[in-house]
Amino acid sequence: MINILKQVHRVYSVSIILIFSLLFYPFYYLAARSPKTYGLLNWLRKSKSRLCALFIGLSPNFTFEESLVPNQTYIYCANHTSNHDIMLLCILAEGRFHFMGKDELLKNPVLRIFFKTIDIPVNRDSRMSAFRAFKRAADNLGNGMSLIIFPEGGISDSHYPPKLMPFKNGPFRLAIEQGVPIVPVSVTNLWKRMWDDGKKWGSSPGKVDIYVHKPVLTSNLTINDSDELKDRIFELIKSKLVDR
């Protein structure tokens, strides 16, 4: 009976996201036509994310180790266990921000408009695609637009409960090259609400705990420190995943 209810909630959650996506789409379309209105586009998707979380029954509980500086450019690095991660990171991020994600998201009916405009798709099997993606991300960071990235490179479907997978190198080299602080984010229990896309275990409402670590400064580091930085961020994020 519990599994049936969880599958019903998953269908309900997907329906809520699709309904609000359709309602917001005309406004997304107008705001996505020019980089000058990307701030409005971010405000719209943040607002939609809050509405979706409310109607789905997700209650985000953010714990900040240190207050983030308003208007500061950051690279947010978070673990990735659920399709709802993007929604929660939209709620968390402030100011101008964009995501980098796998190019398969260009086919996603909800996220396609963002990955054709403000966000950055990347084919991680193509060095040229990765080079172009990180070059564009560097330009955006230089223009004061924060980056949100999941350094695991995707959601692992081989472990349940999920395990934190090895990180890709790119985000940490980028942070050092641009001198941008990294904000490690531990999404501790969202996988209990919905793991991956929810098809296997369904979904459920409830509180979601997100621990936002103190920003890690990179301005005093060199490229030779990128592996050490990657390991440090990995351990920080993992330190709050107590249920793994």
3-state secondary structure the chain: CHHHHHHHHHHHHHHHHHHHHHHHHHHHHHHCCCHHHHHHHHHHHHHHHHHHHHHHCEEEEEEECCCCCCCCCCEEEECCCECCHHHHHHHHCCCCEEEEEEHHHHHCCCCHHHHCCCCEEECCCCHHHHHHHHHHHHHHHHCCCEEEECCCCCCCCCCCCCCCCCCCCHHHHHHHHHCCCEEEEEECCHHHHECECCCCCCECCEEEEEEECCCECCCCCCHHHHHHHHHHHHHHHHHCCCCC
CA atoms of 142 and 138, how far apart (whole Å) = 6
- The answer to whether residue 218 is domain-embedded is yes
- The answer to whether residue 168 is domain-embedded is yes
Burial class (CB in 10 A: 0-12, 13-18, 19+), 71: exposed
Largest CA distance in the chain: 55
Q: What is the pLDDT of residue 243?
A: 55
Q: Are 28 and 44 in contact (CB under 8 A)?
A: yes
- Cis-peptide, bond into residue 151, ω within 30° of zero: no
The domain tally of the chain equals: 1
- The answer to whether residue 36 is domain-embedded is yes
CA atoms of 111 and 11, how far apart (whole Å) = 18
Tens digit of pLDDT at every position of the chain (244 positions)? 768 899 999 999 999 999 999 999 999 999 999 999 999 999 999 999 999 999 999 999 999 999 999 989 999 999 999 999 999 999 999 889 999 998 888 899 889 999 999 999 998 778 888 889 999 999 999 999 999 999 998 887 767 788 899 999 999 999 999 999 999 999 999 999 999 988 888 999 999 999 999 999 999 999 999 999 999 999 999 999 965 4
- The answer to whether residue 59 is domain-embedded is yes
Q: What is the pLDDT of residue 158?
A: 65
- The answer to whether residue 244 is domain-embedded is no
Token pair of 185 as six digits: 């984010």
Judging by DSSP bridges, how do beta strands 182-187 and 206-212 pair with one another? antiparallel
- The answer to whether residue 32 is domain-embedded is yes
What's the Rg (C-alpha) of the chain?
17
Residues shown for the chain: 244
Q: What is the pLDDT of residue 137?
A: 95
Token pair of 148 as six digits: 């949100």
Q: Shortest CA distance to 227 belongs to which of 175, 183, 178?
A: 175
Q: What is the pLDDT of residue 48?
A: 98
**Cα atoms in the Cβ-side hemisphere of radius 13 Å centred on 130:** 11
Q: What is the pLDDT of residue 1?
A: 72
Q: What is the pLDDT of residue 2?
A: 65
- The answer to whether residue 193 is domain-embedded is yes
Domain with residue 157: its CATH number is 3.40.1130.10
Q: pTM, whole model, 2 decimals?
A: 0.93
Q: Are 85 and 150 in contact (CB under 8 A)?
A: yes
Q: Domain of 211?
A: 2-239
Q: Which amino acid is at 64?
A: F
